[in-house]
Structure 1
């Protein structure tokens, strides 16, 4: 159970990033209705398609099992987006969840193409079980890039994830260039391994070779609640 002291620290932690966004001219909002989220992402012209694991037509997210963030500028135009969902892997692990395609489709037998496939060879993925928060669909409008937005969005994702679930792991899948350019470290992830998701989704026209990035639950807690508190 999260203590009152933890709640106070979580509140302060989240507020600090909300204030940092406001200083950059971005007003952040949280939501839990993923039908609404998809309507926002589809209306955002320069953002690529959202993967099926955040689309309710392919992978519904139950109440209390996910949230999303949108940031708008002074003209109320969308400037940043990201989403987080919880995977209950108490009887599985992340590698199995990805390779079965259940990470992307609630019912792979119904929605997956016969040639869809995912390989996860990152060693840590087989140890990721329990409550696993998956952080993805991040997008920053071009004119806000290079201004520290990843740190803000990562901080918000970590704070809200810890407040809602206190997960055993928080993770994401990213292209290698995001690691090379330091974007992943800006988000606040401490670890990465290659071959997190070698993915092909035919009907989605998705072909990826992504790295797995992650924090353990204890590392997440130490980010949000100062040690010794």
Structure 2
């Protein structure tokens, strides 16, 4: 069941546009992932297109997926994210991921899929219905213009709101490396639930695993989130 709040995102979108326009940030969105791949190759060569959004591996179009790219005043790529609906039928996320977690690898070479594993936390047993995967999130490390000043909060939550406007999902989830989660990035993005130990990835010839957190929001969570004044969040993040 989805709860409709009075604002329903209108004030959030207006505030987001004001903040992004004031910083001269240009947003592009689309559902052609061949185009997205070209944007990634040109502007984000250090991190390849994530496997969940590779059009060679998945059927992606305007009905089930979108991408978002942000550019600075000089036209340089500064941020990316993407989302897609999952075809889970009547499964919970835990049931779905046990069989298909290998479709959501981190952007690392030489993943040892045989040693890697997925472990469902309590939330994954409850997540079902219309479910959106949110990932491929990147923000430029260059300079200090877009990190530590609240812009990552605005950009990430803008992408979440697009998912709500398009699909009104029951849940939105993503995976986050432990090192990133420990820095509070999940909270800055707006994720209200974080479960450690969901994924453990190994690389060939390396016995040190990379742990992935499950981060998620329910429909009620995300609509509550967008009732919060965005300007205050940016000021607190600055």
User: Would you call these one fold, judging by a TM-score over 0.5?
Assistant: yes
User: Contact 1:174 / 1:211 at 8 angstroms: preserved in 2?
Assistant: yes
Which residue of structure 2 lines up, in the alignment, with residue 109 of structure 1? none
Unaligned stretches of 5+ in structure 2?
105-111, 229-238
Which residue of structure 2 lines up, in the alignment, with residue 137 of structure 1? 136
Equivalent residue runs for 1:120-159 within 5 Å: 120-142=119-141, 143=143, 144-159=146-161
SS at match of 1:160: helix
Larger deviation: 184-193 or 22-31?
A: 22-31
Q: Distance in 1 between matches of 2:33 and 2:163?
A: 16
- Structure with more strand by fraction: 1
Q: Check 1:153–1:103 CA distance in 2 against 1; reply closer, same or farther (3 A cut).
A: farther
User: Contact 1:151 / 1:186 at 8 angstroms: preserved in 2?
Assistant: yes
Q: Distance in 1 between matches of 2:19 and 2:55?
A: 31
User: Contact 1:69 / 1:81 at 8 angstroms: preserved in 2?
Assistant: yes
Q: Distance in 1 between matches of 2:64 and 2:167?
A: 9
Larger deviation: 209-218 or 140-149?
A: 140-149
Does residue 1:166 correspond to 2:168, yes or no? yes
Q: Check 1:128–1:201 CA distance in 2 against 1; reply closer, same or farther (3 A cut).
A: farther
Q: Distance in 2 between matches of 1:103 and 1:85?
A: 16
Equivalent residue runs for 1:19-34 within 5 Å: 19-34=18-33
Q: Check 1:225–1:147 CA distance in 2 against 1; reply closer, same or farther (3 A cut).
A: closer
Q: Check 1:200–1:13 CA distance in 2 against 1; reply closer, same or farther (3 A cut).
A: same
- 1:114 Cα deviation after fit: 7.5
Q: Distance in 2 between matches of 1:158 and 1:7?
A: 18
Which residue of structure 2 lines up, in the alignment, with residue 175 of structure 1? 177
- 1:116 Cα deviation after fit: 7.5
Q: Distance in 2 between matches of 1:14 and 1:127?
A: 30
Which residue of structure 2 lines up, in the alignment, with residue 110 of structure 1? none
Larger deviation: 47-56 or 5-14?
A: 5-14
Q: Check 1:127–1:153 CA distance in 2 against 1; reply closer, same or farther (3 A cut).
A: same
Q: Check 1:214–1:9 CA distance in 2 against 1; reply closer, same or farther (3 A cut).
A: same
Which residue of structure 1 lines up, in the alignment, with residue 232 of structure 2? none
Equivalent residue runs for 1:1-229 within 5 Å: 9-101=8-100, 104=103, 115=114, 117-142=116-141, 143=143, 144-199=146-201, 208-224=210-226
SS at match of 1:43: helix
Which residue of structure 2 lines up, in the alignment, with residue 108 of structure 1? none
Which string of whole-angstrom CA distances, capped at 9 and with x for unpartnered residues, describes residues 173-214 of structure 1? 001122221211111111101122224587xxxx74200111
Q: Distance in 1 between matches of 2:115 and 2:58?
A: 16
Aligned length: 215
The CA RMSD measured in Å over matched residues stands at 2.9
Larger deviation: 94-103 or 13-22?
A: 94-103
